[in-house]
Structure 1
Amino acid sequence: MNDNIHDLAMRHVREQVLERLLEHMTQAQRASVHLLMQRMLVIAGGPGKISEFRAMVLLGADRRSAHLLACLRAAQLSLAKRYGRSFLLRVLVARLPGLDSTTLALHDRCFGALFLEDDSRVELLRADAGQIGPYSARPVATTEQRAVARNAWLLFGHLGVCRPEALLGARAYLELATVLDQALHAGTGVDALFTVLPTTQRHRFMAWGRHCLRAITGGAADALPHGVGGLAEGLMQLHNLLALPLQRAAPMALRTDAKVLQVIALEGFLQQLENDDLLDRMLGRVKVLPCEVHGPAGLFDPVPLAHLRGLYAQFIEQRGYRAGSRAVVEQFAHLPVQWPQPLREDAQERLADALGVTIEQLVCQAFAPFSDQGRRLELFLVRCHPGMLVALPALHRALEGRRCASAITAWLMQVSGLEMAQLRALYAGALRPQVRRLVALLARRDIALRALAQASPVAPPAQQQVSAGQRR
């Protein structure tokens, strides 16, 4: 009896949510929701099979992602009202490098407005440090998992001697593919992935992913995965390869029995919602992010990118932190946004929360001073740690694997965030060709997978170079 009363109450609440949601859409938008419902029924095999249909959305922080979720929720509630049953919806909340409190608050308001958290047909997941788990304000990954993710992220910067646009761009897509693969195959799996990405962008991402897989595996083009599901699995394995570059990797093996995942784009529907302030207000998006980005970048946080670009400009290019960070802010901000000290501190806090990195380690990563037998080590010390110049010969001995004071190795690990075995491998260039090829590929592309002009290497002036004899 009590269960029946509860079910009736929940049904009434959901019908109210549907009514309110449709009231915030135009007649054309409601017609688009109806067409989406018909498409789902056809794919599922009719109303009798709709409860077995499993849909998924990869949710970014941009308004288009929120509109996509609202569209799917309207279709889900409409089908339930009409047929007494509806499809299952899995929502993966992703934000790289990590979810901040402002973004979490946006999602919370959106989920509350759509009444998602109390619906058994909706599964809310959160991505964190390459792991997925139930959505909440608390991080998903364990301390050990976050340490592994932090180490892999720092190591890539040293391997690639790359700019922030690649560090938080192409390389981050491997982490995104890792959590996407986990979400697609969790539980009973997924039948269709819904997206707002335009066709040209989807094709670009697919082509880039296949190019990476072919370059690393050496496989023929016709042997590579063509669908999103298979590609996500392949890129996940590349992510694992990059996380353990000093270990012998197991042969890559893609699933052969997995069904083809359908990708359903709703870009046409969302074009009608571009300037829909009514729907934004209902979804609790009155207060927007300071730098809100669209399309695929809705999954990426531009604030840490601006911070890393500022550090790179300050220490590598020597043209000032503000000059570097301003370029990123102007590219991604929807309104003129200044870059005062509080935003710089906020960006560093986000990176520290997501990856556990210090600003000292970020600056060290930008120099990548240990590669090529420490070619940039002296310049790094001159600009950032002049008090350690007297210990330069001892630092080289430690990186060569020779005996040295424990204080030297402790300093190297603290300033870099890496282990001594990794630092010595960087120094000696002892990396497998497979890893080198992957790093080179990733270092060439930014967040939109556009080619980056090759940066000139950071090299110390001739008068500052130290001979091999002096090192010892």
Structure 2
Amino acid sequence: MTEHDDLNLFQRLIGHLSDVERRGVDAVGAALIDAAGGIDRIGDYKVMVAYGGGKDSTYVVAIVRAVQLRLQLDHGRTFTMRVANMRHAGVPTAVMENIDRVYAALRMLDDDRAELLTVDRTEIRRFRVDLPLPESVVTVNRLDVLMNGHRSAGDGRPTFCNSCNLAVADFYGRAGWWDGGVDAIMTGDSRREQALYAAWIRRLARATGVEPDRGGALDFSQLLTALRGIGDAYYRELFGDGDDAVLAERSVAVGNRTLQPRFVSIYDVVSYRVHDHWDLIVDFLGFRFDDLAFSFTESDCANPTLMAHLRGLRAELVDGRGYAAGIGEYLEFAEAMMRKKEMPDRLIDLALGRYDSPAKISERRTIAADYALRAFGLSESALAAIVFSPFTDQGKRLAAFLRRCHADHLGRLDRYHAALRAEPGTESEADWLAEVSGLPIELLRTLYHDALVDFSRRDTVMARVRSGDPHKQEVRTVDPRTGAPVVELISGR
């Protein structure tokens, strides 16, 4: 890009920023010059932004791009900007299309000062909007959803987010250390949020038997080392100790300890409420709140739609209260979360309006079921099995699952128990259980000897993680046995 191009883009970009945000751009630029050791060294400085493809991270990318252009125009030199986006099976195509539009609007696609990376677990490639998602990523995600779901009866956060959050930690390490590493990582989290998160990781690590450090603030490598220890304990609990390949595939990368990027927050110098910069995000950058990509509190992931779907299936199949009853409970939770995040009314109305009639609920059910099959390879039968969790606790709920979902197989209950105990002569039963659940028989047998997680206790890593997770809420529901009103704690996004 020429100096004229830079000036034109910068003027158009800051034209969408408030006076506070413009002063923030200057303040961040000054902080980066200081961190680099002076303006003469800024050209060798590399800054990373983790870009999920949602509205908030889009805003961070735009602000950092403004800082980059400001330094170039003022000093004739600037830092390299690495933007890395992590993908998993719950990321719809619309997210990549949003990212592509944002990059195009910010003139980053052909700018040598911008490194645009897509990280698919261990595979790091230059961003391309039509880059295919590796089948290996889908396979890992599917197994994780199934195993987490069966241990939690399909509760939203454990089922979809626990493994994903550990994968995010791995992503930060791989993206931050790739090809010589970066000097700084820009974040929209406040310093207080960062400190609370680090303190929570330290407590969780110690409760899990991991001692990440001898005190003091955790640096980048120590943070990831602690998360690696937590992840290793979590996956041993989930999959057992027998499969080293499964555990190694999910281990958080700890990278190069000699390269320790610092976190630089823009939180204190900008506005994070989406309605404060709607024109920037939507009009200038071309961000679209797609039907699947915008899912309750998320604008870069369709998994919350599946969380609501599982709640509906649980109410219908397990409790006998009807699919719409479960959806209503999830909407109560989701609205509380959206308001807590200060989302604008127009987005809250858009998210909730998709379910505001029986016909729309039926339509959303079809959309969710189709997406589960397309993205994760999960059939309605596999999702039904998740909400029953029929294999844990020595198959305690297997009879109820068969009675409700596969009544013609109830007469073979004893044979299915025998297959889960690996008794000889039960190969056909093992094959049927694997087909219905979506899990190989070896993992069904692992579940058979495990218990459904009791979230009222903290004797499992999964329960400890959920106890410290703020994304949960009490909702009003009904005891299916007595019909009496009760309050239940559920989690999700």
Question: Which residue pairs with 1:466 in the alignment?
Answer: none
Cα distance in 1 for residues equivalent to 2:403 and 2:427: 22
Equivalent of 1:316 in 303, 308, 318:
318
1:264 aligns with 2:256: no
Which amino acid counterpart does residue 426 of structure 1 have in structure 2?
L
- Tell me which moved more, 89-98 or 177-186: 89-98
Report the secondary structure of 1:366's partner residue: helix
Report the secondary structure of 2:378's partner residue: coil
Cα offsets for 1:234-267 (capped at 9, x unmatched): 3245445545633356999967834443222212
- Tell me which moved more, 116-125 or 377-386: 116-125
Report the secondary structure of 1:56's partner residue: strand
1:39 aligns with 2:25: no
Equivalent of 2:463 in 435, 440, 459:
440
Q: Is the 8 A contact 1:56 1:89 kept in 2?
A: yes
Structure having greater relative contact order (Cα 8 Å, sep ≥ 6): 1
- Residues 348, 93 of structure 1: CA spacing in aligned structure 2 closer, same or farther, 3 A cutoff? farther
- Tell me which moved more, 45-54 or 346-355: 346-355
1:368 aligns with 2:392: no
Q: Is the 8 A contact 1:130 1:149 kept in 2?
A: no
Which amino acid counterpart does residue 425 of structure 1 have in structure 2?
T
Equivalent of 1:146 in 138, 145, 148:
138
Instruction: Please list, as runs of the form range in 1=range in 2, the aligned pairs for 1:181-330 lying within 5 A after superposition.
Output: 181-219=173-211, 222=214, 226-236=218-228, 238-239=230-231, 242-243=234-235, 245-247=239-241, 257-271=257-271, 274=274, 275-280=276-281, 281-285=283-287, 287=289, 292=294, 300-301=301-302, 302-329=304-331, 330=334
Cα offsets for 1:197-232 (capped at 9, x unmatched): 244433333233222322223427636972344323
Cα distance in 1 for residues equivalent to 2:259 and 2:443: 39
- Residues 445, 17 of structure 1: CA spacing in aligned structure 2 closer, same or farther, 3 A cutoff? same
Cα distance in 2 for residues equivalent to 1:310 and 1:458: 14
- Tell me which moved more, 418-427 or 353-362: 353-362
Which amino acid counterpart does residue 277 of structure 1 have in structure 2?
W
Equivalent of 2:354 in 322, 327, 338:
338
Q: Is the 8 A contact 1:196 1:270 kept in 2?
A: no
Cα distance in 2 for residues equivalent to 1:189 and 1:182: 9
Instruction: Please list, as runs of the form range in 1=range in 2, the aligned pairs for 1:366-405 lying within 5 A after superposition.
Output: 366-405=387-426
Q: Is the 8 A contact 1:117 1:124 kept in 2?
A: yes
Which amino acid counterpart does residue 276 of structure 1 have in structure 2?
H
User: How far did residue 196 of structure 1 move?
Assistant: 1.6
Question: Which residue pairs with 2:41 in the alignment?
Answer: 49
Unaligned 5+ residue runs, structure 1? 1-8, 460-472
Which amino acid counterpart does residue 334 of structure 1 have in structure 2?
I
Cα distance in 2 for residues equivalent to 1:402 and 1:79: 70
Q: Is the 8 A contact 1:93 1:126 kept in 2?
A: yes
Report the secondary structure of 2:186's partner residue: strand
Instruction: Count residues with an aligned counterpart.
Output: 445
Q: Is the 8 A contact 1:215 1:437 kept in 2?
A: no
- Residues 352, 54 of structure 1: CA spacing in aligned structure 2 closer, same or farther, 3 A cutoff? farther
User: How far did residue 347 of structure 1 move?
Assistant: 2.9
Equivalent of 1:359 in 370, 376, 380:
380
User: How far did residue 318 of structure 1 move?
Assistant: 3.0
- Residues 225, 273 of structure 1: CA spacing in aligned structure 2 closer, same or farther, 3 A cutoff? closer
Percent of pairs identical after alignment?
A: 25
Cα offsets for 1:68-126 (capped at 9, x unmatched): 11110011112122333211222222466522133222222211111111112212233
Report the secondary structure of 2:460's partner residue: helix
Q: Cα RMSD over matched residues? A: 3.6
- Residues 354, 378 of structure 1: CA spacing in aligned structure 2 closer, same or farther, 3 A cutoff? same
1:136 aligns with 2:152: no
- Residues 304, 52 of structure 1: CA spacing in aligned structure 2 closer, same or farther, 3 A cutoff? farther
Cα distance in 2 for residues equivalent to 1:41 and 1:292: 36
Report the secondary structure of 1:125's partner residue: strand
User: How far did residue 312 of structure 1 move?
Assistant: 2.6
- Residues 145, 30 of structure 1: CA spacing in aligned structure 2 closer, same or farther, 3 A cutoff? closer
User: How far did residue 389 of structure 1 move?
Assistant: 0.4
User: How far did residue 384 of structure 1 move?
Assistant: 1.2
User: How far did residue 364 of structure 1 move?
Assistant: 0.9
* TM-score, scaled relative to structure 2: 0.79
- Tell me which moved more, 83-92 or 128-137: 128-137
- Residues 254, 184 of structure 1: CA spacing in aligned structure 2 closer, same or farther, 3 A cutoff? closer
Cα distance in 2 for residues equivalent to 1:178 and 1:279: 31
Report the secondary structure of 1:90's partner residue: strand
Which amino acid counterpart does residue 439 of structure 1 have in structure 2?
M
Cα distance in 2 for residues equivalent to 1:367 and 1:110: 42
User: How far did residue 400 of structure 1 move?
Assistant: 0.8
- Residues 228, 170 of structure 1: CA spacing in aligned structure 2 closer, same or farther, 3 A cutoff? farther
Which amino acid counterpart does residue 201 of structure 2 have in structure 1?
G
User: How far did residue 164 of structure 1 move?
Assistant: 1.8
Cα distance in 2 for residues equivalent to 1:380 and 1:171: 26
Cα distance in 1 for residues equivalent to 2:321 and 2:396: 22
* TM-score, scaled relative to structure 1: 0.82
Question: Which residue pairs with 2:431 in the alignment?
Answer: 410
Cα offsets for 1:3-38 (capped at 9, x unmatched): xxxxxx655433322221122223332222112111
